[in-house]
Chains A and B, each alone.
Chain A
Amino acid sequence: AQSVTQLGSHVSVSEGALVLLRCNYSSSVPPYLFWYVQYPNQGLQLLLKYTSAATLVKGINGFEAEFKKSETSFHLTKPSAHMSDAAEYFCAVSVDTGFQKLVFGTGTRLLVSP
């Protein structure tokens, strides 16, 4: 069965600093990978997705992620954090082309200080 592991339940950065949120996946077949963001009391918003085209995926709000098969990783980065980036971030995996079922990690809360 597929799964994802997000290292670090909380990550703190200063405004303007690099954001790095880690996600490692486990899958016996080529996965489809997603990053979602959740603001307080809101649903999840898709940041970006990997569907086996380019290994470096660019998303919204300046975020990007790189698929590394050798490391089974899909880490999320942003060169310069903004206060508005403070939220909960979830990595998710699906192994079917229809994305019928997403399996989520436990999430990483990003804290941004001035």
Chain B
Amino acid sequence: DTGVSQDPRHKITKRGQNVTFRCDPISEHNRLYWYRQTLGQGPEFLTYFQNEAQLEKSRLLSDRFSAERPKGSFSTLEIQRTEQGDSAMYLCASSLVGSEQYFGPGTRLTVT
């Protein structure tokens, strides 16, 4: 068990650029979650997958955001036309059905 990993750990981008983050869950976990955490706040749920199916999306996930988990293993979160308000820590978590979530170290996005 190597834990949940995320790449990159830090990303600085200019407003209007597209960015993509990757999350590799714990290998046997069939659920994968994305959260966003802004400074001084707790994480906010964005979306989750069970295997390759995206089962729920928060209203926080605007049209500029898209997440995929093509083979039920790793997942990507893409933000198109980034805005300064997108600056945050993006956290990925994974779990077995009915079990607690294990979080990765996060990707810190800074939009300049």
Residues of A within 8 A of B (CB): 9, 34, 36, 41-46, 49, 90, 92, 97-107
Contacts and interface: CB of A to CB of B under 8 A. Distances in A.
B98 A43 contact: no
A44 B100 contact: no
Interface stretch (B14-22, B40-48, B67-75, B77-85): B40-48
Contact of B101 (A90, A99, A103): A99
A100 B55 contact: yes
B61 to A, nearest CB: 13
Given A90-B43, A98-B97, A101-B33, 15 more contacts: A9-B40, A42-B106, A43-B106, A44-B43, A44-B93, A90-B42, A92-B42, A98-B98, A99-B100, A100-B55, A102-B43, A102-B101, A104-B42, A104-B43, A106-B41
Contacts of B26: none
B87 interface: no
Contacts of B104: 43
B65 interface: no
Contacts of A41: 105, 108
Nearest to B95: A99
Contacts of A99: 95, 98-101
Contacts of B93: 43-44
B56 A46 contact: no
Interface in B28-66: 31, 33, 35, 40-45, 48, 55-56
A101 B106 CA distance: 18
A19 to B, nearest CB: 19
Contacts of B109: none
Nearest to A6: B42
A3 B94 CA distance: 22
A68 to B, nearest CB: 21
21 contacts: A9-B40, A36-B103, A43-B91, A43-B93, A43-B103, A44-B43, A46-B100, A46-B101, A49-B100, A90-B43, A98-B31, A98-B98, A99-B98, A99-B101, A100-B31, A100-B56, A102-B43, A104-B43, A105-B42, A106-B40, A106-B42
